[in-house]
Amino acid sequence: MKIDKARFIEPGNPPYRRSIKNLYTYEKYIRTPSVGLLTLTTIVKTAVDDTFMYSESISKIKWNDVWDADIIFIGFFTFAATRAYELAQYIKEHSKAILVMGGLHASMNYTEAVRYADYVLLGEGDESVLELIEALRNDRRIDFPGVAYKSENAIQFTGKRPPPMNIDTIPDRDLLYRYRKMAGHNTLWLQIHASRGCPHNCDYCAVVRHFGRDVRTRSPENILEDMRRSIEFQDKRPLPRLYRILWFTDDNFFADREWALSVLRSIIKSGIRYSFTVQARYEVGFDDEMLGLLKEAGFVEIAMGIEFLEDEAFAQYHKRCTRDDVIRSIKNIQKHGLNVRGLFIVGADHHTKGVGDRLADFVMKYDIRGVLIQSMYFVPGTPVYEANKSRLLHLDWSKYNGNVVHFPKNISPYDLQTEIIRASAKIYSPKNLLHALLHRKWREKLIFVGEFLWQMSVRADLKKELPYLENAGKERNDCKPA
């Protein structure tokens, strides 16, 4: 078959729309586009010259440019799956294109995704996407690993594919519609993904199931070039951004210590002067050499996956960590002049009323600068999902974005959602806003103001779910035997 035009689509939840809120509120109608899907777009461009991407994170889709494509790819996470399936049905009604789905949710739940697509690419598609295009062009059978498709009402799965070892592709951000124009928004932080995989095995984490436990890395030289292009892309505009920062989105940048050290030394030697943030586990807080190099290279914060505050929860979900480890790590990171951002999960089996207050008090006591608080999340294919299927409230994937979606053991869904709201309001209170404006550095003042407004929006969305959660709890109690 002929494949001369390819289009990539990233669904939004909710889809982008113009709003004054986009200037100060992240994830309301705007969010940073997927660097993974943009990387695949860049790869396909080498085989199909007319290749382009649309992301509902930053724009509407120009459908007149999509309908006549020969092949259309949709990549998505769990929280955007519902929207992805809506778009797939819409495309099938208006286009004759081959429709391919991929991304974390489609990979982990391909038996669902394949109902809406001609093919599903499982795992990382850096290599399989080109093999698929070549096979379709030559009318060859799809028999290489990493693909699922329907055949005579049965689902065919060609087997698990080894992850690619060469991941040095630098995404071409100009292949994404309106990205250069939208990059001036301070609510968007350009991203660099420098490594893939994680050696750990936390039950709730989909990363190790999708990317594997073997850590694969990009070369320092390749990363530096990506950084230079990213900075140029973000800064080359008439009006400068108020906050200039790049976000290293590796789920565990420090899993390969020697490589991480080499990257930091290369940044320092390169003379690039910018601000960076990076995600990490608590262990990095015990590595003085690493922390010193992070500070020297221009990193301003570490987004730490703290998750829980209780040793029981760490043990239950197989995260090798203790509360004391976390505290010692936070203190040492701060001692090196770096801020700590906390990523938290509530809804563990032993959590009870008051978990929100305990979390907020911890954040303020240890001066954690910024938080993301989510209810326990359940991605199909993870151990926590498989173990708790019977306790899920629903499978409306659009609600799997921080909301309570299960029946916790020792607290009602309604009360747990209320705990998240209470913790957010306590951390981002008017009193704390005033304190930040009076006492923090200008960069941190700006961040706190932005997060204060963002958390207001988050709480408003969480509150919308409270009536449903209250009724769900009542119905469950009514069904219990007397």
- Domains in the chain and their CATH numbers? 5-157 (3.40.50.280), 189-346 (3.20.20.70), 370-482 (no CATH)
Spatial distance between the Cα atoms of 155 and 157, rounded to a whole number of angstroms: 7
Measured distance CA(119)–CA(175) in Å, rounded: 23
Output the CA–CA distances (angstroms, integers) from residue 392 to 376, 387, 475, in the order listed.
11, 10, 14
479: confidence class by pLDDT, cuts 50, 70, 90: low
**DSSP 8-state class, residue 416:** H
Question: Is it the case that residue 201 has pLDDT exceeding 80?
Answer: yes
Please provide residue 456's backbone torsions phi and psi, each rounded to the nearest 5 degrees.
-60, -45
From the number of C-beta atoms within 10 Å of its C-beta (0-12, 13-18, 19+), residue 324 rates as exposed
Among 27-31, 275-279, 434-438, 470-474, whose mean pLDDT is lowest?
A: 27-31
Of 15-29, 268-282, 378-392, 467-481, which range is least confident?
A: 467-481
Averaged pLDDT score across all residues of the chain = 93
Closest CA to 10 of 83, 74, 86: 74
pLDDT digit string, tens, across residues 14-54: 888 888 877 777 777 788 999 999 999 999 999 999 999 99
Give the pLDDT score at 476.
Answer: 67
Write out the two tokens for 161.
């594919």
294 pLDDT above the threshold of 90 = yes
pLDDT of 481? 44
Instruction: Please write the tens of the pLDDT for every residue from 261-284.
Output: 999 999 999 999 999 999 999 999
More confident residue, 377 or 102: 102
Question: What six digits make up the tokens of 160?
Answer: 């698990």
What is residue 56's predicted lDDT score, i.e. its pLDDT? 97
| The residue to which tokens 């698990």 are assigned | 160
- Which percentage of the chain shows pLDDT scores above 90? 83
Q: Are 108 and 380 in contact (CB under 8 A)?
A: yes
Nearest to 66 by CA among 30, 38, 94: 94
Mean pLDDT computed over 160-185 = 93
Question: What is the DSSP code (8-state) at residue 205?
Answer: -
Q: What is the pLDDT of residues 310-349, one digit of tens each?
A: 999 999 999 999 999 999 999 999 999 999 999 999 999 9
What is the pLDDT at residue 178?
A: 95
DSSP string, 230-283: HHHHHH-SSS--SS--EEE--TTTTSSHHHHHHHHHHHHHHT----EEEEE-GG
Residue with tokens 């921080």: 402
| Most confident residue range from 242-251, 378-387, 414-423 | 414-423
Quick one: pLDDT at residue 177?
98
Quote the pLDDT of residue 482.
Answer: 43
- CB neighbours of residue 318 within 10 Å: 14
Task: Report the alpha-carbon distance of residue 225 to residue 227 in Å, rounded.
Answer: 5
What pLDDT score does 19 carry? Answer: 84
The residue with greater pLDDT, 203 or 117, is: 117
| Residue 239: pLDDT band with limits 50, 70, 90 | low
Q: Is the pLDDT confidence value at 78 over 70? A: yes
